[in-house]
A = this chain, B = another copy of it.
Amino acid sequence: MPERDVPYLCELAAQLRVDSVRSSAAAGSGHPTSSLSAADLMAVLFAHHLRYDFDDPDNPANDHLIFSKGHASPLLYALFKAAGAITDEEMLTFRKRGSRLEGHPTPRLPWVDVATGSLGQGLPVGVGVALAGRRLDHLPYHVWVLCGDSELAEGSIWEAAEHAAYEGLANITAIIDVNRLGQRGPTRHGWDTGAYARRFGAFGWHTIEVDGHDPGEIDYALSDARKTRRRPTVILARTRKGEGVNAVENREGAHGKPLKDPEHAIYELGGDRGVTVKVSPPDSSRPPHVFDSGPTEWPVFEVGTKAATRTAYGAALKALGAARGDIVAVDGEVADSTKSEEFAHAFPERFFECYIAEQEMVATAVGLQVRRWVPYVSTFAAFLTRAHDFIRMGGVSGANVRIVGSHAGVSIGEDGPSQMGLEDLAMLRAVHGSTVLYPCDANQTAALVTTMADIPGISYLRTTRGDTPVIYDPGERFPVGGSRVLRHSPDDRATVIAAGVTVHEALAAADALKAEGVSVGVVDMYSIKPVDQAVLIEAATTTGNLITVEDHRPEGGLGDAVLDAVSELGPRVIKLTVRGLPGSATPAEQLADAGIDKDAIMAAVRRLL
């Protein structure tokens, strides 16, 4: 960098600081001090290193910039203004009702890849974007992630560090704004950038320690990061929170508050001079790589045989992978159990092994979908709870991610409660914009797996460990929001609503009751969210007696979905669910002990009538 650039970079940084102060003053809230510390870092990045076309945010060649420290949104919006993407007027709508400039950035803004604000998520997601660049798009775009120092305490950062280094991602740079102060007070390591460098270095990263307010050092570090081969780079920048404004500079108690005297702060910063920045566009000459799509053989399971729905997931995912080159799979070192290994063996270049790091696993998928890939993520349903916050934020981002949780419920048998997904339906139903599916047979699973490819937002499919009878013909259609009435007669005195493994218990119960002269209907409610309200209303008004039966806790699952759908009609509803704490036992014993097997359903019907 020529020496003559320094004055401009300082002016640009001052402008970013001025605008951060102005927007948070206008809002009456926000995080100006956390913005001031990173202004020099971002000024140099925008002026000299970022390759981005703000007029074409969908350009595949664009670099990616993720503010992992999402609370520094005033700085991000000041950058957008300096780059000409938003007006000064819009910038001053910060945090106001209806503004797309929210307290923490979301993809309502076309230049924002993912929502941040829950700390420790931007870097893990950035790793996913970088993986897309290196392994899928085959494009040289660079991923820049601005992190705070406080968020380095999050384990998800180290899952990301391990993943990025192991995959040799030289196309990602973490820029750590080491401003020493967290929300409540000093961080564990203060300005000891060496402490962080040792950690990142041990994880295999290239580390650079700089003065985060020296444009020359920053410029050198960013150049070095872009040029580094075979491993990711972390720039540990020693900065001062509130830099440039004496009243708050490097002071405790100034986190997350607008400045008391913004006018004086702007004066101190040299005034509002309207400095802008010209961001260089990327080299768009090379289109992203495309994987072959082609004809495929869809998996077929013969009615009357038995097969595990997780097996059908594996087979369907592999078939889908052959049909569509944009399908990718992500797993957490249990692909032999979830059966995504079928896909992994067929399409190793589109399979992402995240090892036992479920947060990074979901973050990887979120990152891949940023670049329009179509990820399926699988692990045990129980261990998805590990990634709950990432799934929640995926919902806020509107991320299109398909999640498949295997080994659901007590029906896994001997392994015991630690391995049983018993809260997954509650967790996934409560995610904004989610779809929740729970098939009972292999052909239904295959159909739903295929359908999921085009479901927007977070979608979830729950699979079962053991074999279940195949009851549907191959090729049948199962629309989202639908259900299947499996037993029905005008004599029905109750209707059993089941999903997954309990469908087969319900059928057995209905058949046994029939033999006793009691007729009950059975509905396969494979779509838990949205739920088939029409069929439920029909059942509620005809039989008036509903029994829901699910391999899940009483709260937030199938039973609650049914109650919600029929609440205005007032049928009598009995919920059969897993209420106790299971131990080890065979699958059949588990279903019996939980009171969700054939006998329990029959007893519930008798109780109801």
Residues of B close to A416: CB separation below 8 A: 95, 102-104, 106, 117
- In whole angstroms, how far apart are the Cα atoms of A95 and B573 in the complex? 35
A216 at interface, CB cutoff 8 A: no
A333-B183, A430-B553, A572-B570 known; A115-B417 Cβ under 8 A: yes
Q: Which of A172-180, A262-270, A582-590 contacts B (4 or more CB under 8 A)?
A: A582-590
- In whole angstroms, how far apart are the Cα atoms of A117 and B417 in the complex? 9
Residues of B close to A150: CB separation below 8 A: 333, 355-356
Report A422-436 residues with CB < 8 Å from chain B CB: 422-423, 426-427, 429-433
- In whole angstroms, how far apart are the Cα atoms of A559 and B99 in the complex? 30
Most buried by B among A97, A120, A360: A97
Report A339-398 residues with CB < 8 Å from chain B CB: 341, 353-360, 382-383, 385-386, 388-389, 392-393, 395-396, 398
Residues of B close to A393: CB separation below 8 A: 418
Residues of B close to A415: CB separation below 8 A: 29, 103-104, 117
Residues of B close to A450: CB separation below 8 A: none
A104-B415, A156-B155, A593-B97 known; A334-B584 Cβ under 8 A: no
A98-B583, A104-B419 known; A336-B183 Cβ under 8 A: yes
**A119–B356 touching, CB < 8 Å:** yes
**B355–A153 touching, CB < 8 Å:** yes
Across the interface, A356 reaches (CB within 8 A) one of B153, B432, B570, namely B153
Cβ-closest chain B residue relative to A415: B103
**A589–B184 touching, CB < 8 Å:** no
A567 at interface, CB cutoff 8 A: yes
**B567–A573 touching, CB < 8 Å:** yes
Across the interface, A154 reaches (CB within 8 A) one of B155, B201, B414, B431, namely B155
A162 at interface, CB cutoff 8 A: yes
- In whole angstroms, how far apart are the Cα atoms of A78 and B203 in the complex? 36
Residues of B close to A426: CB separation below 8 A: 426-427, 429-430, 555-556
**A386–B334 touching, CB < 8 Å:** no
Q: Name the distance in Å between A148's Cβ and chain B's nearest Cβ.
A: 9
A116 at interface, CB cutoff 8 A: yes
**B553–A560 touching, CB < 8 Å:** no
Q: Name the distance in Å between A437's Cβ and chain B's nearest Cβ.
A: 15
Chain copies in complex: 2
**B581–A396 touching, CB < 8 Å:** yes
A138 at interface, CB cutoff 8 A: no
Residues of B close to A155: CB separation below 8 A: 154-159, 357, 359-360
A187 at interface, CB cutoff 8 A: yes
Residues of B close to A392: CB separation below 8 A: 382, 385, 423
Residues of B close to A427: CB separation below 8 A: 388, 423, 426-427, 430
- In whole angstroms, how far apart are the Cα atoms of A155 and B356 in the complex? 9
Cβ-closest chain B residue relative to A432: B581
**A555–B430 touching, CB < 8 Å:** yes
Cβ-closest chain B residue relative to A608: B568
Residues of B close to A184: CB separation below 8 A: 333-336, 341, 353
Cβ-closest chain B residue relative to A396: B417
- In whole angstroms, how far apart are the Cα atoms of A353 and B183 in the complex? 12
Q: Name the distance in Å between A308's Cβ and chain B's nearest Cβ.
A: 16
**A120–B584 touching, CB < 8 Å:** no
Cβ-closest chain B residue relative to A73: B416
Report A405-452 residues with CB < 8 Å from chain B CB: 413-419, 422-423, 426-427, 429-433
- In whole angstroms, how far apart are the Cα atoms of A334 and B570 in the complex? 45
The 3 nearest A-B residue pairs measured at CB = A570-B570, A155-B155, A117-B418
- Chain A residues near B (Cβ < 8 Å): 27, 29-30, 70, 94-104, 106, 108, 115-120, 150-151, 153-159, 162, 166, 182-184, 187-188, 198-199, 201-203, 333-337, 341, 353-360, 382-383, 385-386, 388-389, 392-393, 395-396, 398, 413-419, 422-423, 426-427, 429-433, 529, 553-557, 559-561, 563-564, 567-573, 575, 581, 583-586, 589, 593
User: 10 other contacts beyond A155-B159, A199-B199, A556-B560, with CB at 8 A cut-off?
Assistant: A29-B414, A29-B415, A95-B414, A153-B333, A154-B356, A202-B202, A385-B392, A396-B417, A423-B427, A529-B555
Q: List 9 A-B contacts (CB under 8 A).
A: A97-B589, A116-B418, A117-B416, A117-B419, A155-B157, A388-B389, A529-B555, A563-B564, A567-B573
